[in-house]
Amino acid sequence: MICDVCGAKESSVFLTEIVEGKMKKVNLCESCSKAKGVDDPTGFALADLLLGLGAAQEIEKGSGAAQRCPECGFSQNDFKKTGRLGCAHCYETFGEGLNSLLKAMHKGTNHTGKVPARISRLLERETALKGLQRDLQKAVAEENYESAAQIRDQLRQLEAPTESAEAK
Amino acid sequence: MKIETVFAHPSDWLRGDGPHHQIVISSRVRFARNVRNHAFPGWAKKAERSQILELIKPQVDDLPEMQDAFSEYMQELNPVDKQVLVERHLISREQAAKNAGSAVVINRRQTLSIMINEEDHLRMQALRSGLQLKNVFKLLDKVDSALEQKLDFAFHPKLGYLTACPTNVGTGMRASAMVHLPALVLSEQINQIIQAVNKIGLAVRGLYGEGTEAMGNLFQVSNQTTLGEKEDEIITRLNQVIEKIIEHEQNARQLLLQKRIGTLLDQVGRAFGVLTHAHSMTSKEALNLLSFMKLGVDLGFFPDDHRPVIDELFMETQPAHLQKSSQQKLQVEERDALRAGIIREKLKQFPEPDIGQKPESGNGTTEKPDDE
């Protein structure tokens, strides 16, 4: 049997693991098994490796033209080899293919946990801005100019700090 | 703090005084983090890697938790020193293989260790004795919150923390407990447990080896997924599962005591006999025998105040710890001989296993007051 990772050498390491009820098998040649740390049970999860293998195919399906990450130059082939991405921007570049992959490997596709305080402030502001803009449109449509004026003032206030920060 | 200081003091998590410490050796939580606008360590060129390192390391060194810490570039550590840190679970094997461009910072009590430029820019972990995942998480969360004020972490509103491997994206968190399950292994229930735990999306692995082959009857239970669940939800779920595993192990121990006391005594007695008389011992054999000694202490065959000796031996008989203590390069046979010697020496003061509920009257040796 040919090695599932390099696709070149004859495999000599055969692994089976049951992940969430599903049996997964992978065949590796000796050098790939060493490279993937199969001989190190603490650092190695077959699941990770399997997901990595499937991931390369998923990414290929999804990304079409975008062969390389514009930020870091990482390619699908590199992902196939390493099972790791090149930079944070790769999540955008290979987004489509990654999405179905993430769906298969995780509980959900949306992060619900911790958010860095700085980003959480940004996100809050963005949500508030969007909400106010919607209210403003509605007020204008309803020809409720008094409340439209109020909303516009609130919007200006909210937008002010970043503009001054960007101006510096 | 120098590396010798690290080696001279056993890690806090090894002291074995945490909750449920008889079965849960340690609790560990790690976060993976990356800074924005830089390639991940595995893809970054050498120059960028050292740039990232010099951006992150001062901030880590500056943490209040890292006062008087051990902080070193990987290329400054020799292979044996690195391996000792691996055996103490303070760095990963992957980090041990790194040289220039990577670093590690470990706090004085060895409960917090931060690797820079491992698979991700930051791999930070907190580690404590016994089952205390929530406390461990709290410590690490605090450190993370302090660092995020200084470092701009790569974060996506939908995907969460972005990591080099898509298996870590989201919380970037892996929480795990190291558990000692000799009775579940002896009663051949361990594979059922492993399968049941796998079904609910958690992973069980032999700490050294797989399934029933696991050396020293030591296993690691951890979360498998990182996206779509909050950190505290993951911790709570893991905690519940581990409490169940503790319960099963305790039941299995009671059952062995009631139904298969002969097997149990035989295992503990043989472990004691071999450990106190062998002149050559591999680390695998040592781990397996020490596991039964530990079980013997848990079940009261040995007095509880002898527990630390066994706990220390688990670590001191590991290859790099041996190498370090001998101060010279050892061949495999020399190492096995040295290991056996250390164990014999340490167990010299160890009393014979006390069977406790003697089937017949015997001659009251167990009640003999220690008036020597």
**Alpha helix segments (H runs only) across B88-187:** 93-96, 133-150, 182-186
Q: Is B48 on the interface with A (CB under 8 A)?
A: no
Edge-to-edge strand ranges of the sheet holding B173-180: B70-73, B103-106, B112-116, B122-129, B24-33, B173-180, B218-223, B202-206
Residues of A in contact with B220 (CB under 8 A): 42
Residues of A in contact with B223 (CB under 8 A): none
Residue with more model confidence, B347 or A123: B347
**Cβ separation B201–A21 shorter than 8 A:** no
The C-alpha atoms of residue B114 and residue B118 are separated, in whole angstroms, by 10
**Cβ separation B166–A101 shorter than 8 A:** yes
The C-alpha atoms of residue A15 and residue A26 are separated, in whole angstroms, by 5
ipTM above 0.95, yes or no: no
Which of A82, A89, A91, A106 to mutate to test binding with chain B, by most B CBs within 10 Å of its CB?
A106
Q: What is the pLDDT of residues A14-66, one digit of tens each?
A: 766 655 555 667 777 777 776 665 554 444 455 555 555 555 555 555 545 44
Which of B34, B37, B52, B162 to mutate to test binding with chain A, by most A CBs within 10 Å of its CB?
B162
Q: What is the 3-state secondary structure (H, E, C) of A126-165?
A: HHHHHHHHHHHHHHHHCCCHHHHHHHHHHHHHHHHHHHHH
Q: What is the pLDDT of residues B174-232, one digit of tens each?
A: 999 999 999 999 999 998 998 889 888 898 888 765 545 678 999 999 998 999 999 99
pTM value is: 0.80
DSSP state at residue B132: -
Spatial contact of A2 and A9, defined as CB atoms under 8 Å apart: yes
Residue with more model confidence, A61 or B104: B104
Q: What number is the average pLDDT over the span B243-248?
A: 95
The C-alpha atoms of residue B187 and residue B185 are separated, in whole angstroms, by 5
Residues of B in contact with A21 (CB under 8 A): 198-199
The C-alpha atoms of residue B103 and residue B121 are separated, in whole angstroms, by 10
Q: What is the 3-state secondary structure (H, E, C) of B268-328?
A: HHHHHHHHHHCCCCCHHHHHHHHHHHHHHHHCCCCCHHHHHHHHHHHHHCCHHHHHHHHCC
Per-residue model confidence (pLDDT) at position A2: 80
